[in-house]
Structure 1
Amino acid sequence: MRKILYGVWKGVKYDNTEGGRAAPLDLPLDKIETFNPGNPVDAVVCNFGFLVFDPNVSLAGVLLRYYALARENSCGACTPCRTGSILLAECLRDAVEGRGDTVDWDHMLDSAEQMKYTSLCGIGRTTPEAMIGALKYFRDRLISTAAPLKGDMYMTITAKCIEACPSHVNIPRYIDYVKDGHPDLAAGVLLHHYPLVATCGRVCVRPCEAACRRNYVDRSVAIKDIKRYVSDNAGAAISDLFHGMDPVIDYSKARVAVVGAGPAGLNCAYHLLMKGYPVDIFDKDEKAGGMALRGIPPYRLPKGLLQKETDAIGELGGEWHFGQRLGRDFTVSSLFDDGYGAVFLGIGCAEGAYLGLPAEDRSLAGYQNGIDFLLEIEKSVADGLPPQIHGDVVVVGCGNVAMDCCRTAGRIATGKVHIVYRRTEAQASADREEIEAARDEGVEFHFLTNPVGILSENGHVTGVKLTKMEIRGTDSRGRPAVRAVEGSEFDVPCAMVIAAIGQKLERDVFSDADGVILDRYGNISVNPALATTRPGVFAGGDCATGPTTLIGGLAQGQQAANSIDEYLSRGSVGFTPRSRMGEIIRDCELLEDGGPTVPMEKMPRHRVPTIPVESRECNFREVDQTFSDDVARYEADRCMRCYRMMAVATPRPIPGNEALHRSPDTENLTASARGTN
Structure 2
Amino acid sequence: MAEERELILKLGQKITDRIGVKVTTKDPEYWGLAGVITDEMAEVALSMKVRAPATAPQIAKKCGKSLERTEELLQEMSVIGLIEYNWENKDHVKQYILPMFVPGCAEFMMMNEKQVEEHPELADFFENMSRLPLEKITPMVPLGGAGIGMHVIPVEQAIPATQQSVSVEHISYWLKKYENKYAVGACSCRRQQRVRGEGTGEIEGELCIGVGDMADYLVETGKGRYIDLNEVLEILQRAEDNGFVHQITNIDGEDKIFAICNCAPGVCNALRTSQLFNTPNLSRSAYRASVESDKCVACGRCVEFCPTGAAKLGQKLCTKDGQVKYPQAELPDAVKWSKEKWDPDYRDNAKINCYDTGTAPCKTACPAHLPVQGYIKMASQGRYMDALKLIKNENPFPAVCGAICNRRCEDACTRGTIDEPIAIDEIKKFIAAKEINEKDRYIPKTVNHEGKQFEEKIAIVGAGPAGMSAAYYLRCKGYPVTVFEREDKAGGMLLNGIPSFRLEKDVIAAEIEVLKTMGVEFRFGIDVGSDVTIQQLRDEGYKAFYIAIGARGGRMAGVPGEDAKGVMSGIEFLNKVNKDEEHMKLSGKTVVIGGGNVAMDVARTALRAGSDDVSMYCLESRDEMPAAKDEIEEALEENISINNGWGPKEIITENGRVKAVVLKKCTSVFNAEKRFAPVYDENDTITIECDNVLLSIGQQIIWGNLLAGTKVELNKNGTAKADPVTYQTAEPDIFVGGDVYTGPRFAIDAIAAGKEGCVSIHRFVHKGHSLTLARDLRHFIELDKNNLDIEEYDNAKRQRPGRKSGDAASTYRDLREIFTEEQLKTEASRCLGCGATVVDPNKCIGCGLCTTKCEFDAIHLSRDLPDASRMTKSEDKLKKILPYMIKREIKIKFNKDKK
**Could you say which TM-score interval applies, normalised by the shorter chain?**
0.7 to 0.9
Q: Which ranges of 4 or more aligned residues in structure 1 deviate by more than 6 Å?
A: 123-127, 245-249, 646-650, 672-675
2:798 to 595, 605, 611: 605
Q: 2-side partners of 1:126 and 1:232: how far apart?
A: 42
* Aligned residues of 2:547 and 2:736 also touching (Cα < 8 A): yes
Q: 2-side partners of 1:348 and 1:404: how far apart?
A: 18
- For the pair 1:71 / 2:257, whether they are aligned, the reply is no
Q: 2-side partners of 1:239 and 1:407: how far apart?
A: 36
Question: Match of 1:516?
Answer: 712
- For the pair 1:452 / 2:644, whether they are aligned, the reply is no
2:821 to 629, 638, 647: 629
* Aligned residues of 2:462 and 2:486 also touching (Cα < 8 A): yes
* Aligned residues of 1:352 and 1:371 also touching (Cα < 8 A): yes
Q: 2-side partners of 1:323 and 1:294: how far apart?
A: 15
Once the two structures are superposed, the pairs formed by residues 21-40 of structure 1 within 5 Å of their partners are none
- For the pair 1:594 / 2:786, whether they are aligned, the reply is yes
Secondary structure (helix, strand or coil) at the match of 1:427 reads: coil
CA-based RMSD of the aligned residues comes to 3.8
Secondary structure (helix, strand or coil) at the match of 2:472 reads: helix
Question: Match of 1:615?
Answer: 807
- For the pair 1:276 / 2:468, whether they are aligned, the reply is no
Secondary structure (helix, strand or coil) at the match of 2:714 reads: coil
1:180 to 373, 381, 387: 381
Q: 1:154 to 1:543 in 2, by over 3 A?
A: closer
1:211-239, CA deviations, whole angstroms, 9 ceiling, x for partnerless residues? Answer: 11111211111111111011112374598
1:29-75, CA deviations, whole angstroms, 9 ceiling, x for partnerless residues? Answer: xxxxxxxx9xxxxxxxxxxxxxxxx99867x99xx99x955426651
Q: 1-side partners of 2:726 and 2:439: how far apart?
A: 29
The AA in structure 1 aligned to 2:818 is: T
* Aligned residues of 2:276 and 2:342 also touching (Cα < 8 A): no
Worse-superposed segment, 520-529 or 482-491: 482-491
Q: 1:600 to 1:592 in 2, by over 3 A?
A: same
Secondary structure (helix, strand or coil) at the match of 1:341 reads: strand
Q: 2-side partners of 1:491 and 1:256: how far apart?
A: 53
Q: 2-side partners of 1:164 and 1:435: how far apart?
A: 22
Once the two structures are superposed, the pairs formed by residues 621-660 of structure 1 within 5 Å of their partners are 621-645=813-837
- For the pair 1:542 / 2:773, whether they are aligned, the reply is no
Report the CA distance between 1:168 and its aligned residue. Answer: 1.2
Q: 1:76 to 1:497 in 2, by over 3 A?
A: closer
1:342 to 535, 544, 555: 544
Question: Match of 1:129?
Answer: 324
- For the pair 1:501 / 2:693, whether they are aligned, the reply is no
Report the CA distance between 1:252 and its aligned residue. Answer: 4.6
Report the CA distance between 1:166 and its aligned residue. Answer: 1.1
Unaligned runs of 5+ in 1: 1-36, 38-53, 78-92, 94-115, 651-659
Q: 1-side partners of 2:700 and 2:855: how far apart?
A: 38
* Aligned residues of 1:395 and 1:402 also touching (Cα < 8 A): yes
The AA in structure 1 aligned to 2:571 is: I
Q: How many pairs align? A: 551
* Aligned residues of 1:239 and 1:312 also touching (Cα < 8 A): no
Secondary structure (helix, strand or coil) at the match of 2:653 reads: strand
Q: 2-side partners of 1:220 and 1:228: how far apart?
A: 16
Question: Match of 1:365?
Answer: 565
Q: 2-side partners of 1:649 and 1:262: how far apart?
A: 44
The AA in structure 2 aligned to 1:380 is: D
Secondary structure (helix, strand or coil) at the match of 1:468 reads: strand
2:467 to 242, 260, 265: 265
- For the pair 1:255 / 2:448, whether they are aligned, the reply is no
1:378-437, CA deviations, whole angstroms, 9 ceiling, x for partnerless residues? Answer: 1112xxx24332211111111111011001011123421111001211111111100100
Question: Match of 1:17?
Answer: none
Secondary structure (helix, strand or coil) at the match of 1:242 reads: coil
1:168-218, CA deviations, whole angstroms, 9 ceiling, x for partnerless residues? Answer: 111100000111122221111112123212111110111111111111211
Question: Match of 1:161?
Answer: 362
Q: 1:486 to 1:277 in 2, by over 3 A?
A: closer
Once the two structures are superposed, the pairs formed by residues 172-571 of structure 1 within 5 Å of their partners are 172-234=373-435, 236-237=437-438, 240-242=441-443, 250-357=452-559, 359-362=560-563, 364-381=564-581, 385-471=582-668, 475=671, 477-478=673-674, 482-527=678-723, 528-571=725-768
Report the CA distance between 1:444 and its aligned residue. Answer: 0.2
Report the CA distance between 1:134 and its aligned residue. Answer: 7.9
Report the CA distance between 1:599 and its aligned residue. Answer: 2.1
The AA in structure 1 aligned to 2:645 is: L
Q: 2-side partners of 1:434 and 1:327: how far apart?
A: 37
Report the CA distance between 1:569 and its aligned residue. Answer: 2.5
The AA in structure 2 aligned to 1:668 is: L
Q: 1:242 to 1:581 in 2, by over 3 A?
A: closer
Q: 2-side partners of 1:406 and 1:548: how far apart?
A: 19
Q: 2-side partners of 1:567 and 1:329: how far apart?
A: 26
Report the CA distance between 1:341 and its aligned residue. Answer: 0.8
Secondary structure (helix, strand or coil) at the match of 2:459 reads: strand
Report the CA distance between 1:577 and its aligned residue. Answer: 5.0
Q: 2-side partners of 1:591 and 1:184: how far apart?
A: 30
Q: 1-side partners of 2:334 and 2:414: how far apart?
A: 40
- Normalising by structure 2, we get a TM-score of 0.56
Q: 1:123 to 1:570 in 2, by over 3 A?
A: farther
Report the CA distance between 1:326 and its aligned residue. Answer: 1.6
Q: 2-side partners of 1:146 and 1:172: how far apart?
A: 42
1:430-476, CA deviations, whole angstroms, 9 ceiling, x for partnerless residues? Answer: 1110010000011100101111111111111111111222239x516
Q: 2-side partners of 1:182 and 1:123: how far apart?
A: 29
Question: Match of 1:14?
Answer: none
Question: Match of 1:9?
Answer: none
Q: 1:600 to 1:365 in 2, by over 3 A?
A: farther
Q: 1-side partners of 2:413 and 2:293: how far apart?
A: 21
Worse-superposed segment, 234-243 or 282-291: 234-243
Secondary structure (helix, strand or coil) at the match of 1:538 reads: strand
* Aligned residues of 2:318 and 2:789 also touching (Cα < 8 A): no
Question: Match of 2:9?
Answer: none
* Aligned residues of 1:263 and 1:290 also touching (Cα < 8 A): yes
* Aligned residues of 1:155 and 1:646 also touching (Cα < 8 A): no
* Aligned residues of 1:349 and 1:547 also touching (Cα < 8 A): yes
Secondary structure (helix, strand or coil) at the match of 2:642 reads: strand
* Aligned residues of 2:529 and 2:708 also touching (Cα < 8 A): no
Q: 2-side partners of 1:398 and 1:579: how far apart?
A: 36
* Aligned residues of 1:123 and 1:643 also touching (Cα < 8 A): no
